[in-house]
Amino acid sequence: MSRREDAKAERRERIVTAARDLIRETGDTGLSMRAIAARANVSLSTPYNLFGSKRAILVAVLGDIREFHDRFERLGVASAVEKIFQAVSMSVDFYVDDPDFYRTLWAGVFDMGGKEVRSALSRPERDAFWLALVNAAAREGALLPQIETAALLRALDLTFGAVMHGWVLGTLSAEELAPTMGFGYALTLGGAATHAWRERLADKALDYQEQLATVTRRSAAA
């Protein structure tokens, strides 16, 4: 890149880092462009010139989604159903590795005024990724042919959102997050599964149930 492009890229990175740090530190996704510019040590016009809107900055802040896809592509060969659970587990890993940031982000999703955050998270690429996983499970014969995969994905998304809501409210700990999510997914997928997969998904639900019981026993002993 030219020196000018290098400087522009460096300012963009400073703005993204500033926004992420402010979200983590303030516990608020409703940041002003003025606060972001001040934290990044750039003029107020710079975030607008480089991104155009606060939503675009939020999308850039969620750039670790690219890292998520890169990691996912490097996973070993697995059945389509197992890939769904792998993707869920990886998502939870991102959240618990940076809880201050992601809890704030999800709190913004559930806020009535959090339209920009919901828009940044609910992008077509994200829906296409998860729908592709569910469609692959259907093609492999894991799901009943009469089940609409888009409707099933909607049910899985509602499960995901409910679990994240529990985490935001503090009714679920970080340790409970992954097994609770897995348990809900196993039960939902099990209801749509073919006979050959129903028992496997029931076993998976029982595994997650035991993980939850272990967390409960550990908490009680602490």
First to last CA, the chain: 55
At 166, which amino acid appears?
G
Q: Give the list of residues 6+ apart from residue 161 with CB closer than 8 angstroms, or none.
A: 109
140 DSSP assignment: T
Q: Measured over all CA atoms, what is the biggest interatomic distance in the chain, rounded to whole angstroms?
A: 61
Distance, CA of 86 to CA of 80 (rounded, Å): 10
Structure tokens at 145: 């042919």
Q: Which of 50, 39, 42 is nearest to 12 (CA)?
A: 50
Domain ranges of the chain: 3-61, 64-221
pLDDT value for 114: 64
At 45, which amino acid appears?
S
Query: What's CA 50's distance to the chain center, in Å?
Result: 26
Distance, CA of 154 to CA of 131 (rounded, Å): 10
Length of the chain: 222
- For 193, the 3-state DSSP assignment is strand
Write down the H helix ranges in 78-148: 80-97, 99-110, 115-121, 124-139
pLDDT value for 111: 79
Distance, CA of 141 to CA of 67 (rounded, Å): 30
Q: What is the CATH number of domain 3-61?
A: 1.10.10.60
Task: Please tell me the class of the 64-221 domain.
Answer: mainly alpha
**Residue found by looking up tokens 């703005």 in the block:** 15
C-beta separation of 14 from 37 below 8 A: no
pLDDT in tens, the chain (222 residues): 578 888 888 898 899 999 989 988 888 888 888 999 999 999 999 999 998 888 888 888 877 666 777 777 777 767 999 999 999 998 898 889 889 888 888 888 887 666 777 776 667 778 888 999 999 999 999 999 999 999 999 999 999 999 999 999 999 999 999 999 999 999 999 999 999 999 999 999 999 999 999 998 988 887
CA 102 → CA 61, 132, 167, distances in Å?
11, 25, 10
